[in-house]
Structure 1
Amino acid sequence: MQSSIGRTFAALSATNEAILYAKSPEQLYGQVCEAAFTSGGFLAATVFLLEPDTGLLTFAAGYGDDVARLRGITISTLANAPEGEGVAGRAFRDQAASVSNDYVNDARSVAWRSGAAAAGVGAAAAMPLVCNGRSVGVFMVTRREVNSLSEEIVSLLERMAANVSYALDNFDHEASRKSGERAMRRLNRMFGAISATNEAILRAKTEHDLYQRVCDAAVFSGKSFATVVLLAEPDTHWLEPVAGTGEALELITQTRFSADPDNVYGKGICGEAFRTQRPCVEHDIPISASAPPTRGSGLMACVALPLTRFGKSVGVLIFFTGNSWARDPEIITLLAGIAENVSVALDNFGRATEKARADAERERLSRMFAALSATNEAIMRARSRLEMFELVCAAAAHGGGFNSTSILIAKPGDDYLEMMAVAGPTAENARRLNVSRSEARPEGRGVCGRAYRSRRACINNDFLGDVANNPFRDVIDREDARSGAAFPLIVDDEPVGVMLFISAKRNTFSSEFGELCSGSPTTSPMRLAVSSAPTRRREPRSRRSGCGGCSQR
């Protein structure tokens, strides 16, 4: 017995040395079992650890002749199970030593009796392994001799297990410290990324500039592998990349993204983030297309966050990060904050765009009011219809900033309108227009012909996209015309001509412009003037209008 106690003391000393040199819990278990077996005279020394969510203790490390049997047995931590009534299950539950000095004949060992008898086990003991007050496993030894586990030996085994538990506490504290440091470094980087993205938001001049600056800030300051912005394509369900930075951009270019849940490309996290307006995370993505699909350092995570404008999803901001980053709720919160800041910036850009559009519209209307005022003055000053036409065209073209302004009058017996006056920077080119009032002719299907026949204003804000303008394509190209508006001139409830405005910009002519010109100074006074202007002098025949009541000047 004295020699057994001496060997156990030697085992205790050896395990303490193992504890000092172990670098991890796994290394600790192996070295403790080896030291205990080598110095303690045991049949086997083993460590069993709790397998999460199962209630079972599984073999983790061991040395000795009985290891082969112990590796294959089932041990439960539940008191109402036969496999939980042995020394290991009791030690785990009670957090106290559990000893059986006649193991084969012990009723508590019935679940393993035949195997233990064949292995020559006479006695067994289990000591709890505790980490931060919680049982995580047991240290278990077996001996050949019955009644060979005295109180002194059990006391030394308890000290051995207590030292291992103390080491486990230290490992856990060190792991927590390192994890905290890593988390702090991650948070510091993310705060740096937020600061950089906020600066990007302040400095960005356009939306695309904003997207690229945010991607740069996330990669260079936040240390993500890559950051990409996807935007919804107008009138489609596709999400297209518009900006990106990083080393894994091939992951974006090799696939497609959709916002449609019924589309195969819309079932991933990007489509889900777009639809739900919530952060979505996917783990274990290969860092490159050539990386093998195995767990390890070759994998990363993808975090998709919605981008909104005035509450409506317009795109997705994607961060490719390490898996540990994507599993940190604080990191996800900070990434969501970046996306929210970008969305606020998009709201501001939207407001600025709307303001610029409203300012431009007010400017256009101001020019039109100025032009209308000038046309009123021209009408009052004109001594003949021809002079009135010329003065009105000049005033409208100059005041409204149009490429050209023209007045065309119908001729009796002729489908084509005669251009009586034209003014503006491209007036010479506009004189080449050949316009008909007949729908049967191609030249009568443009804005002038339609305005003449319908007796209503006709506006086309996209000349290049309208096939009806094909007969005028050469004039349009030379004039760099992009939009136009025609207003009928009516005498005695009959159309006698049109007034045509041409602009170099698309969408120049708003509904307000149409109402302004349809009901007041450009056309209404013109209608009155066409029918009642004084005939102070007769014009040469070659300059006469062809409209019956309008032939005199």
Structure 2
Amino acid sequence: MRKKSAQSYRHLLSLYATLSQVNQAILRVSDEDALYRKICHIATEFGHFRFVWIGVADPARQELLPVAWSGDGARYLREIRIFLHPDKPEGRGPAARAFHTGKMQVVHDFFNDLRTAPWVAAARRHGFQSSIGVPIARGGQNIGVMSLYASEKSYFGPPEQRLIREMALDISFALDYLDNEQKRKAAEAALENTRQKLTLLLDSSLSTNKKHDPLDIMREFGRTALSLTGGLRCSYGLFDQDTLTAERFQNTRWEKDPEAAGHFSRLNRTDRTIVRTPLPEEGAVLLRLPVFGFSDHALGFVELVVSGDQLSLDRDMPFLSTLLAQNGVSLENAFLVQALSRSESRLRVFQKTFESSTASLCICDALQPDFPIIFANDMFFRLTGYSRAETVGKNCRFLQGADREQKSRTEIREALKAGKAIRTLIRNYRMDGTPFMNELSLFPITDPDGTVTHYLGIQNDVTDTLILEKNREIASKVFDMASDGILITDSENRIVLVNRAFTEITGYSQEEVKGKNPRILSSGRQDAFFYQTMWHELLANGYWQGELWNRRKSGELYPEWLSISTRKDKNGRIENHIGIFHDLTGVKESEERIAFLAYHDPLTGLPNRVLLRDRLEYALRQTTRTGKDLGILLLDLDGFKNVNDLSGHHVGDLLLMEVSRRMAGAVRTSDSVGRMGGDEFLILFPDLTGLEELSSIMDRLLEQVRHPFEIEGHSVTLTASGGVTLYPRDNAGIDDLIRHADIAMYSAKNRGKNRIHFYELSMEQSLRSRETLKQELTRALQNGHLHLLYQPQIDIRTGVLIGAEALLRWFHPDGIRLPADFLGTIENDDLSIELGRWVLGEALRQHLQWKQEGQFFRIGVNISPRHFGSGVLEQDLKNLVDVRGIEDLSGLELEITENTLVSDLGEVQKTVRACREMGVHIAFDDFGTGYTSLTMVRTLCPDTLKVDQSFLRSITENPGNRSILESILKIGQGFQAAVIMEGVENARELRLVREIGYHCIQGYLVSPPLLPSQFSSFLQTWQTGRRWENLENPP
């Protein structure tokens, strides 16, 4: 009993401290929310309650809503609801009863009280054992409840209840005090408001009496009206005083929102009623106030938008009426003062309206000739790029530039002639020349008599709009003309639209598939899992693409590449599926073709290098198992390049195809014929029984190639050269086996062609020797071991030196080497071009030196077929002129052989022409020994024909050579070409050529090839000793 008394004593001490702190808080707090929070905090801090909260009734929701709380129970408030309606269990608890009865509700055992049943579980979690609910009143009415919770049962005894009731009364007293204080301040504010408004009226009256501008008066009126009413915004307008209608104004504006439009054009000038119009969307009221002076017509109107909770007509209307009256008088006086200037003001208003318009406007004078522009606004200048000075005074057609053929120009002329309005589309041009499509509207303006005095033009740049429409049209055409099939389905996956390509690919028309599911195209080759995966990805990502098989209307299956995307509405719901597919039938065929071409030659269809290598690898493995020989033959066509050059590449391709067909027919079925490239073929002979079998097959191959070909009217005769090696006798790898066959083929070509050689080790040694020779020749060229010797060419009638042939010699450590010893090795190598450049440069250098010494004659230089046909000869000659400073090339004669002439005649003619333009002479060397035709002589017109010495050497054994020499001489004379007989070595041969009629000779009878220093000495003795007179009788 003593313990319980001590506990109650502590409770009372805590409550007294709480009550004291509450009273102090009431004196300091100035608003109810702060008061509630402070009370809750004090109760938990000083009263040691477990949790305290204050709830205020919400009549609309019929619920007690927490406004402040303190202690361990914030989560408790989120877990419970307390209603004010007794129909619900939550509306019959202690708090609701305290609110309705105005009496304190005490709960001594929270867990076993029927009133607290709905909240027991939540209270148990927070340790609430007992509670008390105290009503809070305001102005004599209960507005809420304060609830306090303790962590022990029967906490709230009669003493505690008394102190808590006093605390609730103090809170109600504080709320009433706050309300009274607010009313007092409101009364003081109302009194001050009245004083301020009277002051405003006085100040406004004094101010407007000093103003003579009606607009200033209205502006002052607006400011004063806003101040009087606490309005949100104000608009005002003044009527023109020379009209009795409310159609035009001097000015209209919003005081706080200049961009908003007024409503004055709908006002009645004789109505004195102050109209009050609610604006519920703004929570405000629109007051329309007419301003009258001494007449029955309003001078203007003012529109005030006033917040609904600030408006009190009883309070504000007397002030507004007084303000209206005093401003009406001021306006009347101002209008009398400014009556003379009203027209100018009106003009400024129109001009400002024009200039500030967002449309491109211009006015044309219809009473002047050619309808000149008298005014245009800023938008017009911005649209066209012209300035005011460049526009005013001109007819609008200057915007049409030189574009005079537009149909709309005629329509505009007819409308202007008839004085009618028109709207049309015309192409105009900006100042910078860029065109724009102008949607032009022209409106006539008439005077009171109906005469058109002006035209108002409104321009609208619709270029982008037209482009957009065009793009839409193009998109529609693209949809219909696209080569890919397109189908569009709705959200239920029913087909709504297909394009032309869809019909062409599937065979189904739009009418046949509309409203159906795309599964009508299903081929059955994809299983359910395929489509499940497709739809999962489509729904997850909005896109799917892949390859699948579908079925045409005909039943034919076909592959396609399908891309599906979704189109969603603004809420993210799928509206359409768009499928675009491409028929892969052709692609599949192309892939098969590409796969074939990866291993076959596209021209002949024979296996290519890749497939040949695979087959060779396989054949080598087979040979290892069987122990039989494998033959590898590399076959090259002789003279195939000439066929291309003379008959064209088309004929060459057809020839290769026919050669391939013949070769395939000449070998065994187990053999492989493939094309390595160009005119080179590789043939594999597996499982050979002996060399006789191989030789027999190779003979057939050569015979098939030798047999004439008839290709599109061309009769072509070919031979072939080949090299063959045998595995495992030649126990090398794949690359070396092919290389050995190539070496043997090279040997066959060097031995006369039209044959096949077996590979021997010595052939490779010979090839290495040739490479060594090329390297030595390169070093000789670099180290100055090459020299030019010169052999004179003489006119035997007069002894005149007509020229000299430059002959190359290699001063080798082992002795002097002639061109025949090394030029054949490099004839197909770029080294021959480099060597040719050196010979040209050295010969011209020597020619220039002799020319400076007073000796002028031509120097003949042999040009290799490779150099002549390389395309660089012309540039080489130009470089000699530019770099070495050789001004004159007329002393140079290029000697070309018939091997050069049988190449592309057009290219030869082009090169010869370029050389001649630089002054270079042309000679045909070894003429008569090859295939040079009269057509070539006639086409190329050589300056010199050099007759090969072989005709002279064998003339005794072959008397027909004399006729040949006579014919060549006649050819030269017929084409006005000099003819030189080469190789004249004795008096007998000299007498013979004289008899035939030759006058120009070259040979050892005159002189052997000489070094430059020796040649100079020869010239002196030849001329001073008149040696040509004794050539037939040498000493």
Normalised TM-score (structure 2): 0.28
The higher-RCO structure (CA 8 Å, 6+ apart) is 1
Normalised TM-score (structure 1): 0.50
Tell which structure's C-alpha radius of gyration is larger.
2
